[in-house]
Chain A
Amino acid sequence: MFGSVHLPLGEVISALFGQEVSETTRLIVIESRLPRAITASLAGSGLAICGLLMQRFFQNPLAGPSVLGITSGASLGVALVVLLTGGALAAVGIVFGAFFGSMVVLLIILLFALRVQRPVTLLIFGLMVGYMVSAAVILLQFGSSKEALRSFVFWGMGSFSDMQWSEITVLSVVVIAGFFWAFSLARKLDLWSLGESYARSMGLNHRQFRIGVLLLTGIITSIVTAYCGPIAFIGLAVPHLARGFWKSGKHTVLIPAVAISGMIIGLGCDLIARLPGAEGALPLNAVTSFMGAPVVIAIILKGRRVF
């Protein structure tokens, strides 16, 4: 219905159920808008779950999927692909670049996590890796052509568009499996919320738990970033929204709550990005931050406890 081409609701429904509609309508609905809506839901949900896990793991309300430096790793991968080849490589190259970059950072983080005791040390390490990787990206940008820079900047704005059905299949498998994996950690996350010492004294194998949480967050963030670019703010804001709305600290409640809220917010942001109705759309990351920041401020001002 909404978008640069206006379609009546009836036609959209007919197209969705495979009834006869014009080829243009079918193309717009089935090949463009439906994949985008599914991508927005899955990416929003996945990032929100990662945000919840990171905030709980680091016991820090400012944590999000990006604190491990994984998003920066993806940026470096894409920068290498796009900027060094002068923007000649197609979307597939970007996906591989992003995935490879984030996996390298995830590996470094996991190796470091096996050596350090305190999560806060890991948090600082992740942030520092992120800064170093970003510095490398700036250097690459400095020496690249205008066209290459342009396509890199566009990737950095984030987008739920241009997803093939095969890519959506990969994304949905990762996000859905990630959801069940996170849900299986729910009681351990409850224990962890009492603090690391309490959790360990109550029988939690903290090394196994730590690797599980990092691996899970790393894989979901990598895949979402590879396909959609570094989406800002959803991962940080949605867990706060869900906590405010569902008013529970139990992770058997919070994980589904965050997954559903992430889906709604993902779709909402995509919808707003398309609203102008003119050619193209607003940059997704501008929308997520413009929407996310005031929501978090509103929750704080209403006196609901964030921390």
Chain B
Amino acid sequence: MLEVQTLHIGYKKALIDQIDLEAKAGEIVAVIGRNGTGKSTFLKTMGGLIPAVSGKITWNTHDILRINAKQRAQFISIVQTSAPEWTGLTVQEVIALGAYPEKIDPAHVKVVSLLSTFRLEKVSKQRVDEISDGEQQKTMIARALMQDTPIILMDEPTAFLDYPSRKEWWELVSDLRSKNKLIIVATHDIAMLREKGADRIWLFEEGKVSERKDTPDW
């Protein structure tokens, strides 16, 4: 169970003063709101990339804001909007790297199975920075699954994708419920959210966050 308690986020001064939220394993949470309302800041704070101004985030009994990068990597993985620009690593190498610090061969059965789940077999030996945006996003999610964390944070992962890729992406992510993962995804794709649905919707507005059941009429 994820609990966000009296969390204040922002850079030098608080962008949002008090966030209190909760979510459970096996849920998909959509984080929505206009640009600049703090969705990315919230995800970055949770992912440990920027410090929280104050407050607490716990996963079961673990305080995930007050642990080091190595410990946090066991609880939270991230998927960003854009894939790496200049890596030179192949799709299978990136997925295998998800097991870090454990060393896993790119031909390992776990990697092969993820390649097949995400239908990436054909591009498995191509460089990640040379495949399509849709394939890149799938590679980065497969890598997050290799990291095998209970929580996966995704920051506008479908922003650069066309309609069929977005649809495929939402279907793949919906299937992750069965793996008992908590997926928190910031998105502007309200149309797809209406079509596919989420277990919770966290609406970010100027200076506050609220949970609601339905998508707003934008």
Chain A: residues with CB nearer than 8 A to chain B? 59, 61, 187, 190-191, 193-195, 197-198, 200-206, 243, 248-250, 254, 305, 307
Contact = CB atoms under 8 A, between A and B. Distances in A.
Given A191-B97, A206-B69, A307 B86 contact: yes
Given A198-B84, A202-B73, A202-B100, A193 B130 contact: no
B42 to A, nearest CB: 15
Contacts of A307: 86
Contact of B78 (A201, A249, A254, A305): A201
A200 B48 contact: yes
Given A201-B77, A250-B93, A193 B84 contact: yes
14 contacts: A187-B101, A187-B103, A193-B88, A193-B89, A194-B84, A194-B89, A194-B94, A197-B44, A201-B72, A201-B73, A202-B98, A206-B69, A249-B93, A305-B130
A200 B76 CA distance: 11
A215 to B, nearest CB: 20
B45 to A, nearest CB: 13
A205 B69 CA distance: 6
Nearest to B130: A305
B80 A190 contact: no
B87 A194 contact: yes
Interface of B: 44, 47-49, 68-70, 72-74, 76-78, 80, 84-90, 93-94, 97-98, 100-101, 103, 127, 129-130, 140, 147
Contacts of A201: 47-49, 69, 72-73, 76-78
B73 A243 contact: no
B80 A198 contact: yes
Main DSSP-derived SS at the A contact region: loop
B76 to A, nearest CB: 7
B114 to A, nearest CB: 16
Contacts of A198: 78, 80, 84, 140
Contacts of A200: 48-49, 69
B97 A197 contact: no
Given A187-B100, A201-B73, A250-B88, 7 more contacts: A201-B48, A202-B147, A203-B74, A204-B69, A248-B88, A250-B93, A305-B129
A59 B100 contact: no
B92 to A, nearest CB: 11
B94 to A, nearest CB: 7
A205 B72 CA distance: 11
Nearest to B94: A194
B68 to A, nearest CB: 7
B69 A249 contact: no
Contact of B89 (A59, A190, A202, A206): A190
A250 B128 CA distance: 13
Contacts of B49: 197, 200-201
A150 B125 CA distance: 54
A187 B87 CA distance: 13
Contacts of A187: 97, 100-101, 103
A198 B90 CA distance: 16
Contacts of A206: 69
A59 B85 contact: yes
Contacts of A249: 87-90, 93, 127
Which of A59, A195, A206 has its CB near the most chain B CB atoms (within 10 A)? A195
A200 B90 CA distance: 20
A193 to B, nearest CB: 4
B73 A190 contact: no
Contacts of B84: 193-195, 198
A191 B93 CA distance: 11
A187 B103 CA distance: 9
Contact of A250 (B74, B86, B89): B89
Nearest to B89: A249
A243 B47 contact: no
B12 to A, nearest CB: 13
A287 B147 CA distance: 48
Contact of A197 (B68, B78, B86): B78
A190 B80 CA distance: 18
Contact of B77 (A59, A191, A193, A202): A202
A204 B78 CA distance: 14
Contacts of A205: 68-70
A195 B73 CA distance: 15
Contacts of A193: 84, 86-89
Contact of B97 (A190, A195, A305): A190
Contact of B73 (A61, A194, A203, A305): A203
B109 to A, nearest CB: 20
A201 B85 CA distance: 17
Nearest to B149: A201
Nearest to A206: B69
